[in-house]
Each structure stands twice: as structure tokens, then as C-alpha cells.
Structure 1
Amino acid sequence: MASRLPPVHALSAFEAAARFQSFALAADELCITPSALSHRIRLLEDFVGERLFIRDSRSVTVSEFGRRYLDVVRSALRALNDFPMPHRGAAAQPRLKITVPPTFARYLLVPHLAKFTRRYPHIAVELFLSVPLYDLSLSESDIEIRFGAGNYANIETRKLFEEPAFVVASPAYLDSIGGVASPADLKKANLLRSALEPWQPWFEAAGLDWVEPSAGLRVDDLGLLLESIKHGHGIGLTRQHFAEDMIASGEIVRLFEIELRSPPHAYYCVYEKSAIERPEVALFVDWLLSVFK
């Protein structure tokens, strides 16, 4: 009797939903409705006899069984995709998937990206956002820009650049607290907290024997941190690439000449060692290094 095989359209639906962690985004990629995608997932769950996702009101997460089955599904789909077909039409356009922290994407990558796409119009670039300091898997991206300490095991890591961190505030906020004349005057200010820009190293550079602030607004996105400073929530740390336009317009001002020359976090380009063998990946890495070096 013929072996029963899982439906390929359900396998592709499962792979896409696991990759995006979203039924809506997966349905959009496959050009079907979320309802149709859910039906395909249920069909595959009925076939394997196990739950593939843990669902709640806000998100979907791949189950333990689903994670193990996902490796098999991806391997099978990759084998189908890579099988040589001599009479197939022209090669598909090379696609480059890049995962980027939001602030880097907004302030640094997107303003330069047109130079790359004009130079290499045959490469389709796809941008996805990531959360800094979370070492996510590279399995779904060709290249990832990470903001962190640079200690990433088993992947190629290239530092793009690091910038000094310095203190900024809005003029209105400074007026509201009577101004600050020295670093010690920061004791009367709200110091905005972020795991991305910790205060402790700057305190040491300023000669202050202070501990990391533990109260007040915390913002773990560098762009939102800068916006919070601009809107007068307190005083915070930033870097030149992000703050230069706001400083030039007078929306924020730099305080003191003290800066942290080697902050604990910098931007890195990371990728699997085998990925660089693809021409589009090698071209983009070389381009990134030339722009930000």
C-alpha cells in the first residue's frame, strides 16, 4: 500500500508560520488568508498527531515537537528547492534577508541602502527587525546586524563601528530642574535607563562613584530612548550618528565634554561561515564594511 505523505502546501504553511511567529505574516507571504493558513496548520497537526504551535490570544509559539519537526520540514523543502532542473526557466532573482535592530535600520542603514540597490539592482533585499541584545538564531537570515558585546559563538562576526557615548538632554528639561553645571548635578535629574546604554561605565569615566540607576523610565530601543530625551522625560546617553540632527536643530543639547570612548556595546555584522560563499552575501558584507568603516 502506498505510503501516506504530508501535503506540501501544509508543510510550507508550517515553515512560514514558524519563521514569522505569526499566522498573519505567513499568510501574507503565501498569498492566502489567515483562515486558510490556519486550516493548513490544523491539517498538518492532524496528520502528525501533535500540536505544532502553542497559541494564546496575542501570539503563536512553536511547540517542542514543532521545533524538532521543523528541522525535518526545512530540510525536505530545501532538498526540493535545490534539486537541479535543467529545463527550468531563468534563475530566480537572488534574495538577501537581513535582520537589523530598529534604530540602526532607521538612522544608519536605510539612508545608505539606495547606494547598494543602485549598484546591485539584481539583488532583492529584504529587511527584518530584531531586538538588540537578544542573540537570535541566524537560521532565517543571511546577515544580521547585532548591537551587543560581540561575543557570538560559532558565527562569523565583523565589527562595523563603535562610537563614544555621551550625555544629552532637552533644553526644556534642563530649565525645569534648574540646569546642570557638573556631572555631580545629575543627582537631581531623572536618568533614563537602558540595557543598551548603561550608565555605570560613564559614571566611572566621569569620576562618580555611583551605581546603575534602578528607578525611572527604562527604554530598550535607542531610537525611543532619544525620543524620550527630546520630549523631556529625563537625561540619557546617546551617540553621534543618532543624535546629530537633534543636536543641530537644538531639540537636545550635549552636556559635558566627558564621553565613554569604548562603550560596552557596538554594532556587528554576523553571518554563518557558509553564507559568505553566496555572491550576494559577500557583496553586501563588503559594502557594509566600506560604508561604516
Structure 2
Amino acid sequence: MDLRQLPALNALKTFEAAARHESFSRAGDELFVTHGAVSHQMRALERELGVALFARDGKRVRLTDAGRRYAKDVRAALMVLADATREVRLGHRERRLVVSSVSALSARWITPRIGRFIERHPEIDLELVSTNALADFARDDVDVAIRFGSGRYADLHSELLLEEVYFPVCSPNLNGGQLPRTPAELAHLNLLRSDDGLWRTWFDAAGVPDVVEPRRGVLYQDSSNLLQAAIDGQGVALVRRSIAMEAIETGGLVRLFAIDGPSPWSYYFVCPPPLLASPRVQAFRDWLWEEVEAFRARYAGA
């Protein structure tokens, strides 16, 4: 049979609901259309087929013998279509991996390395969501999150991924290349501000409690923008090790002093417990741990 001669799919879906309920009103409620719209579609379908599918008695309807036979076959055909559609959607979702990460880590740490994951797992369709908003696994379409925090996340699988430290960095050309030799000299330079308020902690660790934390100038809420400001020579920035090491190794930044400031937060690998065993999540987790170990080894030798 020429498929172009089949009734419209929407008409068949409406017929299936009307036949199952033997009521145009209940079919309309299910399909979010009016009783009149269902009745009109069924009249048109009967004219197209040349056979009565419903016997009408006022507002009540019942299937004719032909309608009952047709309803059985239409329902079976629609179920086949529904099963095929579900399998296609499930197959696509099984290949898709959505990873949410804080913006700075995504830009400065994950993105330079992610090519190795893609080469290893071309069968996975990876989506990187860069956001500083906390992913809501119940609402957002996210499989894995890399969170910067305390690691206490109710009802979620959480693993410590990478500890963090802070240290000051600047462009090698800052102040005409005359860089500070002691932490106390930072008091005479432009110190870039961020919203984490950790300069005070670093000054205490460096033994210069009298140096004042910066309170004027641009306030950078995104660590990647803060790092870029330092690369551009705008001042000295207190930055996280994870996002600064690439720029230090390539010469865009210079680390000042071998003094680490402790971070109250670390990076955590987080996902809903049922997703942890899925092949795509395990593949990403294994790759991520390899990259973290390589990063730790490289930093230890820096």
C-alpha cells in the first residue's frame, strides 16, 4: 500500500484514544482538545475510510464492529511506533554525557585536556556545561558535575577529585619586569580583587599580616577573568593552582614566592548514585582521574 494513502497520524492517535475510552469527551481531555475537535476528526476519518467506526446515540458513542477491529490494529501499530521511538531516544541518551563544571575550571583545566577524552571515546557525545550555578540533578539535564566546595552533597555520590591551594601570580612584564622579591613588597603593587576574600589568609601564611587586603578596583567574580587580568599586566592576582599552571608553564604568568595559601574548598566529582555505574560516566571518571594524577605529578615537579 502507498503510505501516502494512510490517514494522518494525528487522526489515528485521536481515534485510538476515542476507541479506548468510547468517549469523545474523555479522549479530548487526554489529548488536551475539545469534544467537538475529536468528533470532527472522527467524522473526517470515517469519510476518508468510507466506513462507520462509531455508532452515535446523542452524546454517547460506541465502536461498531469495523471500528473495534480497526482500533485493535491501529493500537498495535501505534505501540510499535512508540517502542521504536523510545529505543531511538534511549540509544541517543546512552551516548550523550552532560558534564557541568565551574566556569574557570572548565575553561582553564578541562578544555585544554578534553581532546584526549574525545579521541579515546568517540562513541560518547560529550556536552560541557560551564556555569557557576549549582547543578540540580532533579531538574537539569546533567549526568556529572565537578563542584568546588565542601563535598557534602545530600543524596549524591561525591568523591574528592583535587585539593586546591592559592598563590599570587603576575605578568612577567608587570612593573617593567621589576617583580617583588618579598611578600611585603606587594603592598606597593596593584592587587587584583576577587569575591573569595582570600588575600588576608595568604598574607597571614606569608608572615605579612600588616599588608592590607585590596578594597578598591575591579571585583572579579569569575576566576578565569581574574587570571586573564593578571596575564594582561593589570596587577597581581591570587589564583588557584588548577587554573594558573598552564599559563605559568607557557610563560604568560610568573608565580611569586613559594608560599601556598590553604583553600577552604576542593574539587569534587559528583553524580546521582544510579548513574555512577553507567559506562559513559565510568569512562569520564576514569579519564578524569588519570588527568588529575598527571597534573599532580607535574605540579610536584614544577
What TM-score comes out, normalization by structure 2 length? 0.61
C-alpha distance after superposition, 1:96-122 (max 9, x if no partner): 111122222223222322332333222
Equivalent residue number for residue 189 of structure 2: 189
- Which runs of 5 or more residues in structure 1 are unaligned? 9-79
1:88/1:127 CA distance change after superposition, 3 Å: closer
Give yes or no for contact 1:166–1:238 (8 Å, CA) kept in 2. yes
Give yes or no for contact 2:102–2:148 (8 Å, CA) kept in 1. yes
Cα offset for 1:87?
Answer: 9.8
What secondary structure sits across from 1:187 in the alignment?
helix
Cα offset for 1:243?
Answer: 2.9
Report the residue type matching 2:117 in the other structure: F
Cα offset for 1:214?
Answer: 2.8
State whether structure 2 residue 275 is matched by structure 1 residue 275. Answer: yes
**1:121-132 alignment runs, 5 A limit:** 121-131=122-132
Give yes or no for contact 2:135–2:142 (8 Å, CA) kept in 1. no
Equivalent residue number for residue 29 of structure 2: 4
Cα offset for 1:89?
Answer: 6.1
Equivalent residue number for residue 225 of structure 1: 226
Equivalent residue number for residue 244 of structure 2: 243
C-alpha distance after superposition, 1:50-79 (max 9, x if no partner): xxxxxxxxxxxxxxxxxxxxxxxxxxxxxx
Cα offset for 1:225?
Answer: 0.9
**1:205-220 alignment runs, 5 A limit:** 205-209=205-209, 212-220=213-221
C-alpha distance after superposition, 1:195-233 (max 9, x if no partner): 357212212211232564332221122221111012222
- Identity in percent: 31
1:197/1:121 CA distance change after superposition, 3 Å: farther
1:86/1:171 CA distance change after superposition, 3 Å: closer
Cα offset for 1:289?
Answer: 2.0
Give yes or no for contact 1:197–1:237 (8 Å, CA) kept in 2. no
What TM-score comes out, normalization by structure 1 length? 0.63
What secondary structure sits across from 1:153 in the alignment?
coil
1:88/1:187 CA distance change after superposition, 3 Å: closer
Give yes or no for contact 2:135–2:145 (8 Å, CA) kept in 1. no
1:118/1:209 CA distance change after superposition, 3 Å: same
Distance 1:7 1:160 in 2: 48
Which structure's CA Rg is the greater one?
Answer: 2
Give yes or no for contact 1:201–1:263 (8 Å, CA) kept in 2. no
Report the more deviating stretch, 86-95 or 155-164: 86-95
What secondary structure sits across from 1:280 in the alignment?
helix
**1:123-162 alignment runs, 5 A limit:** 123-131=124-132, 134-139=133-138, 140-162=141-163
Q: What do you get for the CA RMSD once the two structures are aligned?
A: 3.1
1:225/1:85 CA distance change after superposition, 3 Å: same
1:149/1:4 CA distance change after superposition, 3 Å: same
Equivalent residue number for residue 46 of structure 1: none
Report the residue type matching 1:115 in the other structure: R
Report the residue type matching 1:291 in the other structure: E
Distance 2:119 2:231 in 1: 35
Tell me the matched-pair count.
Answer: 216
**1:110-125 alignment runs, 5 A limit:** 110-125=111-126
Distance 2:90 2:153 in 1: 34
Equivalent residue number for residue 291 of structure 2: 291
What secondary structure sits across from 1:256 in the alignment?
coil
State whether structure 2 residue 101 is matched by structure 1 residue 100. Answer: yes
Distance 1:7 1:180 in 2: 71
What secondary structure sits across from 1:258 in the alignment?
coil
1:247/1:117 CA distance change after superposition, 3 Å: closer
1:289/1:88 CA distance change after superposition, 3 Å: closer
Report the residue type matching 1:4 in the other structure: D
C-alpha distance after superposition, 1:156-182 (max 9, x if no partner): 211211243211122443339x75232
Equivalent residue number for residue 171 of structure 2: 170
Give yes or no for contact 1:206–1:258 (8 Å, CA) kept in 2. yes
1:197/1:226 CA distance change after superposition, 3 Å: farther
